[in-house]
Chains A and B, each alone.
Chain A
Amino acid sequence: MRQYLRTVPGKTISFILFVLSVAAAVLCVLGAIIMWEANIYTTPKAVLLEDTLESVVYDIEAPILSAARARYNGAPVLWPNKGSNFRFILTDPEGKTIAMSEGITGNETWTYTHTYGVGFGEWNEEYYYGSPSDEENVAFVFRSYIDSSLKAGDAFALMGRLIGALYALRIAVYPLGLLMLILAVVCYVTLLCVSGRRPEDEELHPGPLYAVPFDLILAAVIILALLVIWFIIDHAINFSHPSLTAAVIAASLFLGLNVFGGLSMSASARIKGRTLLTNTVIWRLLKLLWRILCFLGRLLKRLLRFLLSLLRGVPLIFRTLLAYLALCFINLLVIGTNLHDPDLCFAFLIIELILLFILVAYIALTLRRLQKGAQALAAGDLDHQVDTKGMLWDFRRHGEDLNRIGEGMNAAVEERLRSERLKTELITNVSHDIKTPLTSIINYSDLIAKEPCENEKITSYAQVLTRQSARLKRLIDDLIEASKASAGSLDVVPEPCSAGVFITQAAAEYGDRLKKAELELITQLPEKPVAIMADGRRLWRVFDNLLGNICKYAQPGTRVYLSLEEREGSAVITFKNVSRSALNVSPEELLDRFVRGDASRHEEGNGLGLSIARSLTELQNGTLELAIDGDLFKAILRFPVIG
């Protein structure tokens, strides 16, 4: 069914059905209106039939009267009954019969009795119509009845059948009209659905009119309709020919209905193809207009940009001056020409002040943003980006410059880190390569030293070799560690640990060595445990280096103090000892690589210990500080205390 409706015959049938059902519905409505007008719903059938037939009787009586008077010659004129249901007898003013239907016996029951004036039919028929019952003019009398069988096919029979039909239909028009209306709607919806479709697929197959802009078609239809209406009003409405007029109007309406159906189908197909609005002349015109506006907008923007670039060419100071002068000029111009109207001047000043406030506020906010960015950069946050969104003119350029500084510095820092790492890698690799021959040197010098030999010198020389190669070994290990620590390529895993336990452990580890160096270690711990975040092994290396230095450089027979305090949220670990030789370097220099307290450098040690200690401490978010007071040497470690 659905597929069939999509075929051409299906569509055609739907269309015809639609037109017919609309026409039928209209006819039903019209019929109902006419029947109301004719009182069919309020008058009984017999009464209406009689009244109607009487009006026909009037119509035929006048010509019969004229003809009878003309043909009267003393004897009654006999009227043939053939083809008529009308029976009558006509008498003149004297009561003589001048005409009668054939077969009248005088015993009939007359239904209608009409009188006509004497002059009737001589001058003007219409003259007497108005007063046929005027007593003074009563002259001719028509007595008539109608054969109720209505066998003959005359006007009475027609009228009788018509009224019979009307009475039969007077109730039926309502359901019929409703039915037709429903059918019309169904057909209409069907038409809308099948428009542009074909039975074989679900694609849109628009008709040939599809390409024509819809509003063009609509305009053509409206113009046509207006022409038809104008024609009907001006020419076709002619009351002397009512049936012709009605025919023309009906034909026009029928045509209009067809056009409406076609138009609806086209619109439906366009909606399906989403071209109802786009395939219109108006749409195309609007689009063209929009394009023109866009083009003009671009042109204007380019012009503005050109002017701005011209303005930007002017140095900042001159530009500011220029703006200031322009403002002064506008002020002078407006106020000077409106001195007579102080209200206007006042209003102008208020507006100007508001605009200036907006400008000043904008400048202040933008400057604040730039300032924040610069502060962040100065504080070392090189990743900070100034948000230049919404900034104008020189502010934007300044913000972008600041961002570029950050980028440039970031690149430099990264480059430095990279080269540090490369350096560390190089040192590590070289150190590994040095270690292999060093192993042989150490081993064989050891073997020489152990070899029983008469020449004591050889043994002592071999011992020097052994001692120095051992120093070289330590130097290499320290070198690797120092370069790794300063390049930050050591992985540090801080864990909560107790600084007090640390000092206890370190003191125990170093107990023997300190005793050997004739030093007395005194540890001072607080009662309360102090917890810090540190990588135990790395922190031990720091302690190892500091205590190792003490063993090497402290004056034998003195006391060494190792103390822990909690001060202002920091765990402060202090190493105190008395130096054996005079310290004539600054603490800062001591922390540099390869700098040692004794200028002669003949002591064991390589000057890397403190540098490593500081790097490792800093990797754990701590600080190492050295203080020298005469011969008193202090190393102070600080770590943040954790709750």
Chain B
Amino acid sequence: MYNILICDDEQDIVNALKIYLANGNYRLFEAHNGLEALEVIGKEDIHLVLLDIMMPELDGISAMARIRERSNVPVILLTAKSEDTDKILGLNVGADDYITKPFNPVEVAARVNSQLRRYMQLGSGKVRPGALAIGGIELDDAEKRVTLDGEEVALTPTEYDILRLLMQNPGRVFAPKDIYRLVWNEAPYGSENTVAVHIRHLREKLEIDPADPRYIKVVWGQGYKIDKGGKQ
């Protein structure tokens, strides 16, 4: 039973979120501005916070900063602002994830689950020896096993090889041609398309929103990469 705090000044949105999260075996708390949120966090043992940015009294970004002063509880920002600069700001002040309004209820549930699993079950730094870990993705080369937030993900051998290549070189951009040469061990001739399709499948399996990936990033016109430590 996890405790989730939903903080939004719009009561209708809080209610909708409560309905969506009701069947997930969570205890739900609500707050309507930043100060209330801080109060609840002070009193209860909260495991995850869904935080709106534009609120009266104390806005989400400031509340976020205050929360981070004493706790590393996962915080997912909920906001109507969808521009890239807003996302970057939110993640920089310490948010773990970011959901734009209007949101897809399924996506909210998925992101909440993902954050909770990582925070509660895995903790941080508990990586098995010989395994590669970036964000919630863990790749154990000995067992040929990949887990996302602790749950095993089924990958084809090619997808596995591509993921391993990217995870072994976090931050480095691989052109489709390079990936083909390194994974297939063949001269790439008009086969870049294959690589791109595999990467897409990989993203569909590992990302909550494949169009806005957290881990496997498309560097348009250049190739693909995995960021160090994902979006955090």
User: What residues of chain A have their CB less than 8 Å away from a CB belonging to chain B?
Assistant: 431-433, 435-436, 438-444, 446-447, 469, 473, 477, 480, 495, 497-502, 504-505, 507-509, 511-512, 523, 525, 532, 534, 536-537, 539-540
Minimum CB–CB distance for A258 against chain B, Å: 94
CA distance A429 to B201 in the complex (A): 37
Kindly state the separation between the CA atoms of A360 and B82 in the bound complex, as whole angstroms.
Answer: 66
Interface residue? B91 (CB, 8 A): no
The 4 A-B pairs of least Cβ separation, nearest first, read: A497-B221, A508-B196, A536-B220, A435-B80
When the two chains form their complex, are residues A511 and B200 in contact, meaning their CB atoms are under 8 A apart?
yes
* Interface of B, helix, strand, loop or mixed by DSSP: mixed
On whether the beta carbons of B218 and A505 are closer than 8 Å, the reply is yes
Known: A436-B13, A505-B218, A525-B190. 14 other contacts (CB 8 A): A435-B101, A439-B80, A439-B101, A443-B105, A444-B16, A480-B82, A500-B192, A502-B221, A505-B196, A508-B196, A508-B199, A508-B200, A532-B221, A534-B221
Q: Which residues of B contact A534 (CB under 8 A)?
A: 221
Pair A477/B82 contact, Cβ less than 8 Å: yes
A504→B192 contact, CB < 8 A: yes
The residue on B at minimum CB distance from A511 is: B197
Question: In the complex, which residue of chain B has the Cβ closest to the Cβ of A533?
Answer: B221
User: Can you list 28 contacts pairing A with B, beta carbon distance less than 8 Å?
Assistant: A432-B81, A436-B101, A439-B13, A439-B101, A439-B102, A439-B103, A440-B12, A440-B16, A441-B102, A443-B16, A443-B102, A446-B105, A480-B82, A480-B83, A495-B221, A495-B222, A497-B222, A498-B221, A500-B192, A501-B222, A502-B221, A504-B193, A505-B196, A536-B220, A536-B222, A539-B220, A539-B221, A540-B218
Question: For the complex, is B10 an interface residue (Cβ under 8 Å from A)?
Answer: yes
| Chain A hits for B219, CB < 8 A | 536
| Cα–Cα distance between A431 and B103 once the two chains are bound (Å) | 15
Cβ contact within 8 Å between A438 and B196: no
Beta-carbon contact of A507 and B193 below 8 Å: yes
B: number of interface residues (CB 8 Å):
31
**Contact (A440, B13) CB under 8 Å given A447-B19, A537-B220:** yes
Q: Knowing A436-B80, A439-B13, A443-B16, say if A502 contacts B193 (CB, 8 Å).
A: no
Is the pair A469, B102 in contact by a Cβ cutoff of 8 Å? yes
Tell me the minimal C-beta distance from A561 to chain B in angstroms.
15
A500: nearest residue on chain B (CB-CB)? B192
Closest to B192 in A: A504
Residues of chain A contacted by B196 (CB below 8 angstroms): 504-505, 507-509
In Å, the complex CA distance between A494 and B170 comes to 23
A residues in contact with B171, CB < 8 Å: none
**Beta-carbon contact of A498 and B200 below 8 Å:** no
Most buried by A among B82, B103, B176: B82
| In the complex, B135 has a CB within 8 A of chain A | no
Known contacts A436-B101, A439-B102; is-contact A447 B16 (Cβ 8 Å): yes
How distant is B48 from chain A, measured CB to nearest CB, in Å? 19
A436 is contacted by which of B10, B195, B218 (Cβ under 8 Å)? Answer: B10
Cα–Cα distance between A415 and B135 once the two chains are bound (Å)? 48
| B-side contacts of A495, CB under 8 Å | 221-222
Bound Cα distance from A43 to B141, whole angstroms: 135
> For the complex, is B134 an interface residue (Cβ under 8 Å from A)?
no
Asked whether, in the complex, the Cβ of A540 is within 8 Å of the Cβ of B220, the reply is: yes
Checking B12, B103, B176, B220 against A444 with a beta-carbon cut-off of 8 angstroms, the contacting residue is B12
Chain A residues with CB below 8 A from B103, complex form: 439
Nearest CB on A from B55, distance (A): 11
Are A497's CB and B81's CB within 8 A? no
Tell me the complex Cα distance, A265–B196, Å: 102
Given the known A-B contacts A436-B13, A505-B176, are A499 and B221 also in contact in the complex, defined by CB atoms under 8 Å?
A: yes
From known contacts A469-B102, A504-B192, infer whether A443 and B13 are also in contact, taking CB-CB under 8 Å.
Answer: yes
Residues of B within 8 A of A469 (CB): 102
Report the Cα distance A504→B199, complex, angstroms. 12
A469–B101 CA distance with the chains assembled, in angstroms? 12
Within 8 Å CB of B105, what residues of A? Answer: 443, 446
Quote the shortest CB–CB distance from B185 to chain A (angstroms). Answer: 20
Which of B20, B54, B193, B200 has most A Cβ within 10 Å?
B193
* B175 touches A (CB below 8 Å): yes
Complex: how many Å from CA A561 to CA B80?
A: 37
B198: nearest residue on chain A (CB-CB)? Answer: A508
- Rounded to whole angstroms, the CA-CA distance of A537 and B220 in the bound complex is 6
Closest chain A residue, CB of each to CB of B220:
A536
Give residues of chain B (72-93) contacting chain A, Cβ–Cβ below 8 Å.
80-83
Instruction: Report the Cα distance A438→B19, complex, angstroms.
Output: 17
Tell me which residues from 181 to 230 in chain B have a Cβ below 8 Å from any Cβ of chain A.
Answer: 190, 192-193, 195-197, 199-200, 218-223
- For A536, the chain B residues whose CB sits under 8 A away are 219-222
Given A435-B80, A439-B103, A440-B16, A508 and B221 contact (CB-CB distance below 8 Å): no
Minimum C-beta distance from A264 to chain B (A): 84
A537, chain B: closest CB distance, angstroms: 6
Q: Are A498 and B197 in contact (CB under 8 A)?
A: no
**Which residue of B is nearest A543, CB measured?**
B220
Closest residue of chain B to A473 (Cβ to Cβ) is B102
Determine if A440 and B10 form an interchain contact, defined as CB atoms under 8 angstroms apart. Answer: yes
- Residues from chain B with a CB closer than 8 A to the CB of A473 are 102
B20, B81, B103, B221 pick with most chain A CB within 10 angstroms: B221
B13 contacts A501, C-beta separation under 8 Å: no
Minimum CB–CB distance for A348 against chain B, Å: 77
A436 to B102 Cα, complex, angstroms? 7
> How far in angstroms is the closest Cβ of chain B from A438?
5
A523 touches B193 (CB 8 A): yes
Chain A residues in 8 Å Cβ range of B12 = 440, 443-444
- In angstroms, Cα B106 to Cα A447, docked, is 12
**What is the chain A residue whose CB lies nearest that of B193?**
A504
B200, A504: Cβ atoms closer than 8 Å: no
Whole-angstrom distance between the Cβ of B20 and the nearest chain A Cβ: 8
**How far, in whole Å, are A532 and B54 apart by their CA atoms in the complex?**
40
Name which residue of chain A comes closest to B177, CB basis: A501
List chain B residues, Cβ under 8 A from A509. Answer: 196, 200, 218
Contacts of A525 in B (CB 8 A): 190
Tell me the smallest distance from the CB of A637 to a CB of chain B, in Å.
Answer: 13
Residue in B closest to A431 when the chains form the complex, CB atoms? B80
CA–CA, A499 to B175, complex, Å?
12
| B residues less than 8 Å from A440 (CB atoms) | 10, 12-13, 16
Nearest residue (CB) in A for B196 is A508
CB neighbours of A477 from chain B (8 A): 82
Contacts of B10 in A (CB 8 A): 436, 439-440
Contacts of A444 in B (CB 8 A): 12, 16
- Give B22 Cβ to nearest chain A Cβ, in Å: 11
In the bound complex, how far is the Cα of B82 from the Cα of A501, in angstroms? 28
Bound state CA distance, A201 and B192, in angstroms?
94
A498 to B192, CA, bound (A): 13
The minimal Cβ–Cβ distance linking A97 to chain B, given in whole angstroms, is 151
